Each structure stands twice: as C-alpha cells, then as structure tokens.
Amino acid sequence: MSSHARSRSLRAIGVLAALSLTVVGLTGCVSRGSDTTTTEAPELVSDDQLTTVTLDVGDQKGGTEALLRASGELDSAPYDVAFSTFTSGPPQVEAATAGQIDFAVTGNTPPVFGVAANARIKVVSAYSNDASGDQILVPSDSTLTSFSDLRGRKIAVGKGSSAHGHVLLQLQKAGLTEDDVQIIFLQPADALTAFTSGEVDAWAIWDPFTAIAQVQNGSKTLTTAEGVANGYGFGIASQQALDDPAKNTALQDFVVRLAKASAWAEKNPAEWAAAYSAAVGIDPAAGELAQGRSQRPAIALDDTVIESEQALFDAFVESGSIPGGNTFADFVDTRYNDAIADASAATN
C-alpha cells in the first residue's frame, strides 16, 4: 500500500449499526431494484488509474488489516485502504448497504440477514473453516453437559452473527425451538459482561472471544459448531463499489492479496499468532489458541458453498427470524473467483 495509506475508526457508526440492524429496519430503507442483481463486471483499469482510489474496508480486531499487514501483502498496493473497526458482521453489512464501506469479511450468517433484507451487497469471496472456534460456552463451574441442557435457560448471542446461526442449528439438531430457550441478543462486549456476572447461562461466540474466555476465565465448551454449521466466512462488497471500474479493479486486487495473506498465515502459524495477539491486545496464549483453529483460507465461491448458505437461510426462515422470498445465489457475484484461484494455486 502507498505510504499515505491510513486506518480510521468508525466506532460510532459501528455501534449505531449494531443497534439498528434488523431485517425490518433494512427492508424499510433499502430497495432491491435492478442495481442489486448480478450485472456484467466493468472492465478492469490500469494500476496508474488506482492511485487516487481509496477502498473503505470494514474490519474487526485482529481481522483483515492485521492479517494483511503481518503478511506484507499491503506493502505494494497501488491504492489506499481505510480500515474501519466494527464489533461484528451485521453492522458491516448495513454499512456496506449504506455505501459507508466497500468491502468486509464476515462470518456465515450476516450475509444471510443481508439477503433477507435486500441489502445492496454482493458476496464476492469465500473462506473455509471447520467452525471449531465457534462455540457455546458455559462457566467453569457449570453442571450443564449438552446443548439440550439449555432448555429454559438464557443464551447470550449477537443477533445476525455466525453465533446466532450456530444456536439456531443446534436447536434444530436437538429437536428444540427458539421457544425452548431464552435467547438474549447482546454484542460481544455486553455478552461477556452478562456471561461472567452470571446473568446468562451460556454464551454463543466465536474466536478470539472464545479463546479469551477459555484462557482467562476457564470457561468450558458445551458444544462447538463442528459438523453443525458450515464455518464459512465471506467477503461482501457494496453494489456501488462493484459497479465502479476503478474500485472494482482495486477490489479484485484486494481479495487476491487477502487470499495470499491467508495462505501465508497457514504456513507461518507462530508468526501470525504473535502478530494477531498484538493486534487484538490479548494474551498470546489466547491468540495462539484462536488462530490454531480459526484461520480461514480462501476457497472457490461455488455451488456447494452457495447451497450450504441457502440451507442456513432456509433455517432462519423456518424459525421465523427472517422473511423468505429471496435466494442466496441472487446475492452472489463470482467475478473474482478465477483471480483468487490463481493466487491460491501460486502460493501452494
């Protein structure tokens, strides 16, 4: 990235978006329209036309920026990147819809809520993980031993987050419904407070919060999302950025650099874990634990991935959490698949 590349924080926007993101709210202010359907990608432009471009990238602590900087993948970018910090994926989706950011990496569930809300985004990249870091935690002294033991109990979870999807799928697996438990929607910081103070019985959360709670508080794993949730992560892009030739070109370059950075992290786990811990400001033991199970290499955005997400979408519809009527595939744009595949092949 050029020497005047910068980072900035949109914490106020992130907080407001986290509070305001609901399907009703988004569908009330966003129209799907013709500009959200898949259209032919604009022609790529030359690098010298990117010198005045700034990509606005939504991020979470220890996420995209930390990975790209640790790997050195941003050093030669011909455009600027402005990173904005968010608490979780749902406010990133809303910010992209509002044109406040061009791109963000989220878990598997925020795009589902975006699809239900006709968000002006497209899913443009995919990342794989076994979901072992996505867990439902209980206090160290808890006597609960299975998810079914949570019947009638309080579970803290971020609404529209990957953890929300995890809870829903665990309910299905156990033959329970949302009426059988008390779901308390809280963002991670507030959920941690509620969890450690005993206000809730369990906390559905993802790394690094999972690892922090385990290392610092001795929290126990009630269950993980392995074999239950798909564990995917997704790159989402705003429709207006995809329609802009210069930003579209920068976005293709950016997702390629991100794929290369992910491959670097897999090959250099100790170095990445140390950089990650420093970026997040957590105990290195927690950082090592989190990154030992929560790295997400880039994968093809193919039919298998799309069908898995449609199944998750349908599960939310069946639960009454979101309205039906939309198809996940209609919010997918595979224009970067070949470039990402070439980058991934070159790093193997």
Rounded to a whole number of angstroms, the CA Rg of the chain reads: 19
pLDDT at 347: 75
Answer whether 290's CB lies under 8 Å from 60's CB. Answer: no
DSSP assignment string, 84-104: EE-SSHHHHHHHHHTTS-SEE
pLDDT at 20: 34
Four-point Cα dihedral 71, 75, 80, 81, nearest 10 = 10
pLDDT at 345: 80
Answer whether 202's CB lies under 8 Å from 156's CB. Answer: yes
249's enclosing H/E stretch is helix 245-267
Per-residue pLDDT of the chain (348 residues; tens, 9 = 90+): 443 333 333 332 332 233 333 333 333 333 333 333 446 899 999 999 999 999 999 999 889 999 999 999 999 999 999 999 998 888 999 999 999 999 999 999 999 999 999 999 999 999 999 999 999 999 999 999 999 999 999 999 998 888 999 999 999 999 999 999 999 999 999 999 999 999 999 999 999 999 999 999 999 999 999 999 999 999 999 999 999 999 999 999 999 999 999 999 999 999 999 999 999 999 999 999 999 998 889 999 999 999 999 999 998 998 888 999 999 999 999 999 999 999 888 776
The two tokens of residue 36 are: 């959200």
What is the rounded distance in angstroms from the CA atom of residue 54 to the CA atom of residue 41?
19
What is the rounded distance in angstroms from the CA atom of residue 2 to the CA atom of residue 166?
40
pLDDT at 28: 31
Could you say which DSSP state residue 332 is in? B
pLDDT at 39: 60
pLDDT at 225: 96
pLDDT at 15: 29
pLDDT at 40: 82
